[in-house]
Every structure is written in structure tokens, then in C-alpha cells.
């Protein structure tokens, strides 16, 4: 982009030089000393003016080049800063996961979320672990915040996890305070529903909902969410209970898969 103005300036300088040569020959023909001095004065002033314009043009070119360099450096620094922030946040997440894994009573396999499932009608995540990592179908998937879902498909090096926010997902759950057992299902919105809790059972907002441990898939005590709303209808036998999930499903990047003991794994395979 800077070549065109520079070429134009060189062409203009050449034309000015030709003009000076022609003017010099023209002045040689003058015999009037006064007129010659006047012409010389005008010529010197014109040269000074042109030199000033040239110097200003060069300064503008230099400033433009410095400005481009500064913009490029600013962009590079912003990109570096962004990468450092991402690395810092990832380090914090991984440190939290490591601390969580150390204090967890079950053997865990760390996994990274590498995509969303493409199967129609199923909300799922693609993980970068599979059968080669001792991950198999129906293994629970959790994060440091709570229950994510379960493995539904495995390959040697990848697997697909069905999440709680799926119409096909049903989990046996327990209210932590009353110990009443119900079923967690997706509402179709941003919350879960706790089903089959009778109206005579006392339920409070903020009460924790955990896995019941009554299924062969999920161990007991995994955090599912907290109660945010309770409704009752004269025409229904059960309460309508909304549960806010403990996990932010749209922000998941790393998860854990709970490895089953060999005896339980064999039992699960026989029952399939």
C-alpha cells in the first residue's frame, strides 16, 4: 500500500528536476540583473517549500510505518495475554479436579470434552477416553460440581456420555434431608424435575438432591442439584419440584468417569 505514494513522489521529484533544468536554461538568457535576482529568490523559496513538503511527507510515511508496527505489536500482546489467561484458567480447573480426585472414594478416569454428540434426539458429549482407558457403557460421568450423566457408547479411544439434560435420561434420586426417593428427569428447559415425591413429604427450597444408590449405574450421594421451586395441585398425588442442576452443562471442558469394580462391571454386562 505504501509503494504507490512513494512511486508518485519519485515521479514528481523527477518532473521538478526537469523543471529546474529548464528554468536554469531560461535564466541564462536573462540580461537584467534585477529580474535575475528576483527569479533566483523565487526559485530558492520554491526549492525550500518543496524540501519542506518532502520532509513532511517522509515524516508522515515514517509515522504510518511506526503506527502499523505498533498495531501489530499490540495485537500480538493481546493474543499472548489471551493465551496466558486461558492457560491460567485451565490450570485452576485442573488443580481443582486433581484435588477432587484425591479425596474421592471411587477410582476415576479424567476425560476431556472434545465435542457434542450428533445423534438426533440425544443430548450428549464426546469424551477423549474409551475402552483402552477401561471406560465402558453405563459408567457414571461426573465433574467436580456434581453428576453429569453416563456413558452410552464406547470405542477404543473415545466415548459418548448422555447428560442429565436429555429426555431419555432418568436417575433415581434422594432428597438429602427427608431421604425420600424420587426420579430426576429433564424438564425440557434449564432445570430438572424431581418426580414422584408425595404431597405429604416436607420439601424445602435449597434442599440438596443426590443420587439414591438404588440403581446399578450411579453410586449413592452424587450431587445432582438443589430444589428451587415446589408446587402442589389439588388434582395431583405428587409435588411438582424444580431442581437447579449442580453442573453447568454448556461450560463443561473436563469431566471424570467413575470406573466400576470388576464384579459390578461383569454384572452390568450380563444384564445388558
Residue 149's CB is within 10 A of a number of other CB atoms, namely 24
Beta bridge partners of 223: 210
Specify if 174 maps to a domain. yes
Residue 91 pLDDT: 73
- 148 and 186 co-located in one domain: no
Is residue 180 situated within a structural domain? yes
Residues ≥6 apart with Cβ < 8 Å to 58: none
Longest CA–CA span in the chain (Å) reads 124
Domain assignment of residue 263, given as a range: 108-164+254-271
pLDDT of res. 166 = 94
Residue 239 makes CB contacts below 8 A (sequence gap 6+) with: 197, 198, 199, 201, 203, 230, 231, 232
Instruction: Look at residue 266 in the predicted model and tell me its pLDDT.
Output: 46
**Is 36 part of a structural domain of the chain?**
yes
Does one domain contain both 137 and 265?
Answer: yes
C-alpha cell belonging to residue 189: 428447559
Same domain, 176 and 240: yes
Per-residue confidence (pLDDT) for residue 263, from 0 to 100: 41
Same domain, 148 and 266: yes
| CATH number, domain containing residue 225 | 2.40.10.350
Domain count, the chain: 3
Sorted by sequence, the CB contacts under 8 Å of residue 156 that are 6+ apart come out as 130, 131, 132
- Same domain for 122 and 66, yes or no, is no
The answer on 65 and 10 residing in a single domain is: yes
- Residues 31-53: tens digit of each pLDDT: 556 665 666 666 667 667 777 77
Assess whether 160 and 174 both reside in one domain: no
Beta bridge partners of 240: 231
* pLDDT tens digits for range 145-162: 999 999 999 999 999 999
Rg value, the chain, Cα:
38
Residue 92 falls inside a structural domain: no
- Same domain for 149 and 262, yes or no, is yes
Residue 97 lies in a domain: no
> Domain for residue 221, yes or no?
yes
Q: Is residue 91 situated within a structural domain?
A: no
147 and 121 within one domain: yes
Q: What is the CATH number of the domain that holds 258?
A: 2.40.10.340
The closest of 190, 230, 236, 237 to 206, measured between CA atoms, is 230
Residues of the chain with pLDDT under 50: 1-3, 263, 266-267, 270-271
Same domain (yes/no): 258, 133: yes
pLDDT of amino acid 144: 87
> Do 264 and 139 lie in a common domain?
yes
What is the pLDDT at residue 233?
86
Amino acid at each position: 500500500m505504501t509503494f504507490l505514494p512513494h512511486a508518485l513522489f519519485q515521479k514528481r521529484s523527477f518532473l521538478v528536476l526537469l523543471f529546474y533544468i529548464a528554468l536554469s536554461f531560461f535564466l541564462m538568457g536573462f540580461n537584467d540583473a534585477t529580474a535575475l535576482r528576483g527569479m533566483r529568490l523565487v526559485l530558492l523559496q520554491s526549492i525550500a517549500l518543496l524540501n519542506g513538503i518532502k520532509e513532511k511527507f517522509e515524516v508522515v510515511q515514517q509515522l504510518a510505518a511506526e503506527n502499523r508496527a505498533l498495531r501489530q505489536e499490540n495485537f500480538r500482546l493481546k493474543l499472548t495475554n489471551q493465551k496466558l489467561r486461558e492457560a491460567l484458567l485451565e490450570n485452576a480447573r485442573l488443580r481443582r479436579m486433581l484435588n477432587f480426585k484425591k479425596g474421592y472414594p471411587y477410582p476415576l478416569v479424567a476425560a476431556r470434552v472434545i465435542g457434542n454428540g450428533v445423534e438426533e434426539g440425544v443430548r450428549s458429549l464426546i469424551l477423549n477416553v474409551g475402552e483402552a482407558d477401561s471406560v465402558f457403557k453405563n459408567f457414571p460421568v461426573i465433574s467436580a460440581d456434581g453428576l453429569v450423566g453416563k456413558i452410552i457408547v464406547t470405542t477404543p479411544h473415545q466415548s459418548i456420555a448422555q447428560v442429565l439434560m436429555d429426555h431419555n435420561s432418568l436417575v433415581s434420586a434422594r432428597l438429602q434431608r427427608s431421604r425420600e426417593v424420587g426420579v430426576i428427569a429433564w424438564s425440557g428447559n434449564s432445570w430438572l424435575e424431581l418426580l414422584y415425591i408425595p404431597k405429604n413429604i416436607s420439601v424445602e427450597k435449597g434442599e440438596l438432591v443426590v443420587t439414591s444408590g438404588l440403581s446399578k449405574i450411579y453410586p449413592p450421594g452424587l450431587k445432582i442439584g438443589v430444589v428451587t421451586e415446589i408446587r402442589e395441585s389439588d388434582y395431583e398425588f405428587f409435588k411438582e419440584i424444580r431442581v437447579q442442576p449442580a453442573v453447568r452443562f454448556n461450560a463443561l471442558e473436563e469431566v471424570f468417569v467413575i470406573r466400576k469394580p470388576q464384579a459390578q462391571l461383569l454384572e452390568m454386562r450380563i444384564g445388558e
